[in-house]
Amino acid sequence: MRRFSTAALVAAATLGTALTATPAQAAADAHCTATACHFDVPPGTYDVKVLLGGEAASSTTIAGETRRTLLPETSAPAGERVARSFTVNVRTPQGEPTGPEGTPGLDLLLGGAAPALADIKVTPARRTRQILLVGDSTVCDQPGDPYSGWGQQLPQYLRKGLSVANYADSGESTVSYLADSRLWGTVQPRIRPGDLVLIQLAHNDKTTDEATYRANLETLVDGARAKGGEPVLVTPIVRRWFNSDGTLNNNTALLVNGLGVDHPAVIRAVAADRDVPLVDLTAKTKALVESLGVEASKALYLYNEKRDNTHTSAHGATVYASLVRDELVARHLVPQGQVRVG
């Protein structure tokens, strides 16, 4: 892979407005087709500025790297241009930390009902705050349809200057996450002063006793603070497992393991004892799933596709990511002006 100095790197490509032909190459570092662009950049954090629109009315989404939604569906009236910017994390591996390396550089994919991209520019981000995600398969950048983690959908809700570095990994517990050098051993050195570190681990702590679970959460909290980061404890999303009366099951759905460890309760207690901000995603997702009921809540999960009541669809992950966004703003962890609403 070619290396570029921060000062010199400015990759740009001008694209046909209707995306019906391969766009002209405005820079040697950009390689574009009618529906995607690849930028030969090293690992790092980059600002992306796009100009959307064409002769006809358009509606465009942008995804990147391993199926991360970076820009939600954005409309532009016929003949008009709409500018949008976002910040993206580029790393190897580009998806799950224990998964395949993926393609070097930055890959962006255009989608939406009627995509139209007039211009795109990628530059190194100079002043960026990171949101690092520590989690399991309900959070991670899932490699294939129909799966999606909420961390995979969170970037679309953030504006330029705030990036998501998703180090969640399928199948991980607090025990395995701390033990694997590709996970916490890789995340902790990357934490910078002022970064947020969101921690949601519980689904796979099925045989972890309460004392160990609590100690592991405290280790993650202390480790983030040691690097100047701000840890945020996140209770796990519920499993879609109903009682006959339409409420969620107190054990399976609400993450009480076989040893009787109430994971959300322990997380709440650690947050209170260590003065750590808490995003009570268990309470939020419980309220939502129960309000939707047995049938409507299926769309949040992969029940229809896989008979899976634990993992979320892209729709469900997007809804749950919006709950996280709202909680980050409500707790003054992220300024209102740095998020997208809707």
Confidence at residue 33, expressed as pLDDT on a 0 to 100 scale? 85
Instruction: Using the 3D structure, point to which of 101, 124, 147 is the last residue of a domain.
Output: 124
In a domain, 39, yes or no: yes
Nearest to 104 by CA among 42, 166, 46: 42
Instruction: Using the 3D structure, point to which of 74, 103, 124 is the last residue of a domain.
Output: 124
Model confidence at 118: pLDDT above 90: yes
Q: Residues 41, 146: one domain?
A: no
Can you tell me the distance from the alpha carbon of 210 to that of 263, in angstroms, rounded to the nearest whole number?
8
Using only C-alpha atoms, the chain has a radius of gyration, in whole angstroms, of 20
Question: What is the number of alpha carbons within 13 Å of residue 323 lying toward its C-beta?
Answer: 23
Task: Give the model confidence (pLDDT) of 281-315 as tens digits.
Answer: 999 999 999 999 999 999 999 999 999 999 999 99
Q: Residues 99, 167: one domain?
A: no
Burial class from Cβ neighbours inside 10 Å (0-12, 13-18, 19+) for residue 71 reads buried
Q: Residues 227, 284: one domain?
A: yes
Query: What is the domain-level CATH number for residue 81?
Result: 2.60.120.260
Task: Give the model confidence (pLDDT) of 265-286 as tens digits.
Answer: 999 999 999 999 999 999 999 9
In a domain, 78, yes or no: yes
Task: Give the model confidence (pLDDT) of 25-78 as tens digits.
Answer: 334 477 888 899 999 999 999 999 999 999 999 999 999 999 999 999 999 999
Give me the mean pLDDT over the 310-337 stretch: 98
Confidence at residue 22, expressed as pLDDT on a 0 to 100 scale? 33
Can you tell me the distance from the alpha carbon of 318 to that of 148, in angstroms, rounded to the nearest whole number?
9
In a domain, 63, yes or no: yes
Range of the domain at 144: 129-335
Burial class from Cβ neighbours inside 10 Å (0-12, 13-18, 19+) for residue 111 reads middle
Confidence at residue 227, expressed as pLDDT on a 0 to 100 scale? 98
Confidence at residue 32, expressed as pLDDT on a 0 to 100 scale? 82
Q: Residues 115, 196: one domain?
A: no
Can you tell me the distance from the alpha carbon of 35 to that of 14, in angstroms, rounded to the nearest whole number?
13
Q: Residues 118, 148: one domain?
A: no
Can you tell me the distance from the alpha carbon of 177 to that of 181, in angstroms, rounded to the nearest whole number?
8
In a domain, 293, yes or no: yes
Q: Residues 135, 274: one domain?
A: yes
In a domain, 2, yes or no: no
Model confidence at 94: pLDDT above 50: yes
Q: Residues 109, 133: one domain?
A: no
In a domain, 109, yes or no: yes
Domains in the chain, number: 2
In a domain, 14, yes or no: no
Confidence at residue 319, expressed as pLDDT on a 0 to 100 scale? 98
Instruction: Using the 3D structure, point to which of 103, 124, 145 is the last residue of a domain.
Output: 124
